Amino acid sequence: MTAAAARAETVAAIAELRIVGIVRMPSAPEAVERGELLVAAGLTIVEVALTTPSGIEAIAALAAVRDGRIVGAGTVLDAPTAREAVAAGARFLVSPGLDEDVVREAARLGVASMPGAATATEVMRARSAGADFVKLFPASTYGVGHLRALRAVFPDVAFVPTGGVDATSARAWLDAGACALAVGSALSRGQAREAEREARALLAAAAYERPRESRAGSAPPVNRPARARRAPRGRRPA
């Protein structure tokens, strides 16, 4: 598979599962253990936050298992870190804010990018840089109404609300037009049984069909392969 095809496959997979599980733990072994738990629960797209000590090692361990899972890196703040994460096996790169160098480096390396943005200006910059997704962060600060407002003027952008999102709020975000949701605290805190229960609840919430009005104006992603099963909600065509 070419790098471009692998990137497109990752974009389509995130849009289809609609949930990204963020793992942020006190150590790399604990991150691997929690990541494996999420995958076993069906949440097969896992982001390891690089605030986790030795997070690169955790990415490498999780990505080494070839069972269809997709592992990415979170809190990627610069291009050198992006290269290190991809070398370890990361297939998508997530940042809390927008750094065009990271977005461009992700494209050069053939992986998907998800920079953080909250304002219209930031979204425009991310869009122009070629980001595959825009991480609306922190989502709980801005609220569902903010996403609806952004979607009204950026119907071709695949938004991924992150920060304060959990199973109880998932449907509201998806109804507002989110392409997918990234969930961290609700999956990383607490005991394993609680995390597994939350993962299954999130997947159940994401499995329903969103209202027709929240899908209006959607476009396929830039890098969607010809035979991808589902396109992200709102990506501009090539």
Which amino acids are annotated catalytic? 47, 135
Classified as helix, coil or strand, 46 is: strand
Burial (Cβ within 10 Å: 0-12, 13-18, ≥19) of residue 68: exposed
Cis peptide before 138 (omega within 30 of 0): yes
Alpha carbon distance 151, 146 (integer Å):
9
- Picking from 31, 22, 26, the residue whose alpha carbon sits closest to that of residue 76 is 22
Would you state the torsion angle of the CA atoms of residues 27, 115, 203, 60, taken in this order, to the nearest 10 degrees? -40
Task: State the Cα torsion 50-51-56-59 to the nearest 10°.
Answer: -70
Helix, strand, coil percentages, rounded to 5, for the chain? 45, 15, 40
Distance from C-alpha of 168 to C-alpha of 69, rounded to nearest angstrom: 25
130 close to 93: Cβ distance less than 8 angstroms: no
Q: Three-state DSSP class for 172?
A: helix
SS3 61: helix
